[in-house]
Chains A and B, each alone.
Chain A
Amino acid sequence: MRFVLRRLLLFVVALLAISVAVFAMLRVLPGDVAAVMAGVNSPPERVAQLRAELGLDRPLAVQYLDWCANLLHGDLGASMLTGRSVSEQVGVRASITFPLITLGLLVALVIGIPLGCAATLARGHRARAAYRLVSIVGGAIPALWSGMLLILLFGRGVGLIGVLPSQGFPAAGWGAPVQALTSLVLPALSVGIIVGAGLMRYTRSALGELAASGYIEMAMSCGMTRTQAVRQVGLRLAMPQMVSVVGLTFAEMITGVMVIENLFALPGLGTGLVTDVGNRDLIAVQGELFMLAAFFLLIGLLVDLAHRALDPRLKASIGGNEVSA
């Protein structure tokens, strides 16, 4: 319990630090937000008026506290370009990106873990070399290329077996669940294959070490076959590390799927952030960066808590009640 509280406290402190960093970063960048908003040829009076409207003429500390107070109410400000709420904008984009990366991760887990297990248990040089080839080729394919290949194979209207939509997200969003889901299948497969190859290599490496360990021999001596021992004992022992890898992979995928979002014309978080940076929509960029950083921190927190729950040895080493041999 003490660990959980300490970890939560660390989360809050890190969140505060990130809010300061994001806020400060956009203030020290060359150029004035008001000048950018007003346009290049605006008279200084218009810029000053905008500065006052935006509250940019107040001391930085006051502006920061004001921003934080709004954050606590879930208000990330209004886009400088569209005037729409940034929170709403992030929400709409997240409703595409999160299901996409969740599906992508599921594909990766379904591919990576069983193949990693099979590669660990493979007998003979040829079988092992074949699995190694699969993991290297799978991991080396650029997301853009695998996405295009999938479109050419399954994309409706262009593919050989054109059964799935390959462009855009339904205007009704998740109000049209079937269309929304099918529009994410090809992008999720594109990203899942690559991430899955990485997970396969990681599973193979983690299980490879464990397969030669006394834990597997012990389970076998009790009556398990090698396959059973590797799948039941090995995977369970590798789980704390696997959870860390999967958690961090999930966090990385938020911005990592940007290329895929572009290719499949999905207006997700990564694509949106790049667009807003390009438009110098600094209020939106500030809010989006903060939300992304907060999400990274949240994943880190969940991974740490899961890691600890899965490995009882960590409790002892932190609690200090480990018994020496």
Chain B
Amino acid sequence: MGVDIRDLRIAIGGKEIVHGVDLSIGDGERVGLIGASGSGKSMIARAMLGLLPPDVMVTGSVMLSGAEVIGAADRTLADLRGRYTGMVFQNPGASLNPVLPVGRQVELPLRLHYDLTRSERVERVNAMLAKVGLPADVAAKFPHELSGGQRQRVGIATALITSPRLIVADEPTTALDSITQRQIVDLLVSLVDEAGASMLFITHDFSVLTRATTRCVVLDEGSVVETGETATMLAAPQDERTARLVRAARTLTLRVSREGADRETDRGAAPSDDATADEHEGEA
């Protein structure tokens, strides 16, 4: 599913915060959207999926697989979401329904979009949980009974259960420690590639971006300042604002790598099994 965004403008309370953004994602392409906090990244992601509150003014065009999102009816957008698109949120602890067992949460897109029997849904949920490295008994647990990494795996399972053509990942690693960050990015990338889906990966961290994307768009104060191959842009940023972000990311990456190395030393060895690492984290 391709995405074509043209002249996207978003205003809250009469103040424009995204100024005419153009962005496109090809079939099977993984594109990064990077920018400092408050640059409008998450607003763009939400506008793409029609998730912004009704009092937010959105103009321009967002074509999702040939269908216009801006101005579309609520029902039309809801039919697209969860079926053709999936979203992975920044903080699964604040987005997974806290009173719903994990299995019921993961099956929600199936329940909303497909006419399946309960046992068929359970079968698919268990298969999906296994795919994201979670044991089947997690299905009966509530989000608060899981570690941060496990919750994000549940978030990914929910986003991917219907094999959508586009995944929007809104800073999916920000709330995690550096080791779990890497595991989650690798898991997301492998599952998206395996499904042949496209992905918009939003982050303010270049170190994560290089693992997750091949091309990226840099956003500053609501405007696109640079677009290009992720690796090239990291090596030789053209715009001063991009260069500033890259410098900040390098400092952060150095610090995070040092902290990560310290933690791995503390744990005795780098955990090879993702789920084990998460469980370890959960006990911490």
Q: Interface of A with B (CB < 8 Å)?
A: 123, 211-215, 217-228, 233, 236-237, 310-313, 316, 321-325
Contact = CB atoms under 8 A, between A and B. Distances in A.
In which size bucket is the chain B interface?
A: 35 or more
30 contacts: A123-B55, A215-B96, A215-B98, A217-B51, A217-B87, A217-B89, A218-B87, A218-B95, A219-B108, A221-B51, A221-B81, A221-B82, A221-B86, A221-B89, A222-B82, A222-B109, A222-B158, A223-B79, A223-B82, A223-B108, A225-B74, A225-B78, A228-B78, A236-B99, A237-B97, A237-B99, A312-B144, A316-B142, A322-B145, A325-B147
Interface in B226-284: 282-284
B98 A237 contact: yes
Nearest to B94: A214
Contacts of B175: 325
Contacts of B79: 223
B95 A312 contact: no
Contacts, number: 102
A214 B89 CA distance: 8
Contact of B97 (A215, A322, A324, A325): A215
A219 B108 CA distance: 8
Q: Counting chain B CB atoms within 10 Å of each CB, which of A215, A220, A310, A323 scores highest?
A: A323
Given A226-B54, A316-B145, A323-B146, A310 B81 contact: no
B263 to A, nearest CB: 15
B89 A218 contact: yes
B79 to A, nearest CB: 7
Contacts of B77: 225
A215 B49 CA distance: 16
A119 to B, nearest CB: 14
Contacts of B108: 219, 222-223
Contacts of B82: 221-223
A222 B144 contact: no
Given A225-B75, A323-B282, A324-B284, A220 B99 contact: no
B180 to A, nearest CB: 10
B148 interface: yes
Q: Counting chain B CB atoms within 10 Å of each CB, which of A222, A233, A312, A324 scores highest?
A: A222
B159 interface: yes
Contacts of A322: 144-145
Contacts of B87: 217-218, 221
